[in-house]
Amino acid sequence: MPIDLYFATLSPPSRAVLMTLKQLKLDVNVIDVNLQKGEHLTEEYLKRNPQHTVPTLVDDGFSLSESRAIMQYLVSKYAPNSALYPTHDLKKRAHVDRLLYYDMSIGYAIRDAVMIKVMRGVEPHENSVKNFKNNFKVLDTFIGDNKYVAGNELTIADISYLSTLTALALNDYKELDDFPNVKNWFFRIQKELPYFDEVNGKIPELIKQFAASKK
Ligand SMILES: N[C@@H](CCC(=O)N[C@@H](CS)C(=O)NCC(=O)O)C(=O)O
């Protein structure tokens, strides 16, 4: 039975899950959900995911939301203890988990300091800008000289952060200039992933179109 993924292209968490499925070379049935048309608010969708968010995964009748939980589930089930999510090594796994949680802070920081202009038409509050800088400074420190976010091997944390950071395409990634480790990692690692462009290649254009449509 193929895995169903309820998905929206502009949604970074949706793309993080799709990249994880591709990294694991799993067959997936991608179902586009049009959020503008409210397709995530139907009775049928809410039964699947009361949070009414994308992504939602349905695997063999098991329905799951929250992209990071989905990525953890997929690797734990289909590639247990792979470097991608080292399920049997408590400390390594805890470090990946920590980074996945921190990615949520990064996502909110981007939303409040960058996307707010597009979504609400207002300038970001100075505290949001400060918070953005503080969060990215921490991420820059986490990455340091590492090849990947969590160390020497690709993990689902890389995939999650890569996707989260694509929102910065809105301003051609100029915010990354102050965070050289993040910038270097972001542009280097995406080239290593053969599916990155297929999943994310159109985002810079789409995100700018979306911003223009909100003006
Ligand atoms: N923390 C969630 C966030 C999911 C989320 O907020 N998705 C947005 C699109 S990026 C969505 O579905 N919004 C519609 C809604 O909340 O009704 C995850 O990582 O899956």
What separation in Å is there between the alpha carbon of 9 and the centre of ligand 1? 12
Nearest atom within ligand 1 for CA of residue 12: 10
Which residue is listed with tokens 């223009």? Answer: 212
Q: Is 3-78 a CATH 3.40.30.10 domain?
A: yes
Each residue of 25-80: pLDDT tens digit? 999 999 999 999 999 999 999 999 999 999 999 999 999 999 999 999 999 999 99
Bridge partners of residue 7, in order along the sequence: 32
Ligand 1 pocket (Cβ < 6 Å) reads: 11, 13, 35, 40, 52-55, 66-68
Q: Are 143 and 149 in contact (CB under 8 A)?
A: yes
For atom 6 of ligand 1, which residue has the closest CA? 53
Average pLDDT estimate for 10-27: 98
For atom 5 of ligand 1, which residue has the closest CA? 53
Query: What is the reported pLDDT for 199?
Result: 98
CATH number of 90-213: 1.20.1050.10
- pLDDT band at residue 2 under the 50/70/90 scheme: confident
- pLDDT band at residue 81 under the 50/70/90 scheme: confident
Nearest atom within ligand 1 for CA of residue 52: 17
Provide, rounded to the nearest whole percent, the portion of the chain with pLDDT above 90. Answer: 95
- pLDDT band at residue 214 under the 50/70/90 scheme: confident
Each residue of 156-182: pLDDT tens digit? 999 999 999 999 999 999 999 999 999
The Cα 185–Cα 153 span in angstroms is 13
Query: What is the reported pLDDT for 119?
Result: 87
Domain boundaries of the chain, sorted by first residue? 3-78, 90-213
67 catalytically annotated = no
Secondary structure (3-state) at 3: strand
Torsions phi, psi for 41 (to 5 deg) = -110, 5
